[in-house]
Amino acid sequence: QLRKTRSGANRAREKKQICAHRSARLAKHKQTVEQGFLLTSARYALRRIKAQKLGLLGPQSYKSSTGGEVSAKAGTARASTVDK
């Protein structure tokens, strides 16, 4: 970045451009990280539901992906409707 001295306006404009570019990059990175996290959590939830359906988890309640408690009864009811 060895340039001749700029006028104030030019320097400000350049600074803004650099900042915008950097923030855009950061936003993109954040998005990819969040997407990856969502994917893994969804995959985990699916695995839990499958296990519940096959009766591998037993009658205990398990945490649903939304964060609320789901009783085993609800899980078995859903499983039976799916099986039919």
- Structural domain boundaries in the chain: 8-83
pLDDT digits (tens, 9 = 90+) for 33-83: 888 888 888 888 888 888 877 776 655 555 554 445 555 455 444 444 444
Burial of 75 (0-12, 13-18, 19+ CB in 10 A): buried
The DSSP symbol for 60 reads S
Report the 10 Å Cβ neighbour count for 52: 20
pLDDT value of position 32: 86
pLDDT value of position 57: 60
If we measure between CA atoms, which residue out of 38, 65, 57 comes closest to residue 79? 57
Q: What single string gives the DSSP state of each residue in 5-29? A: PPPHHHHHHHHHHHHHHHHHHHHHH
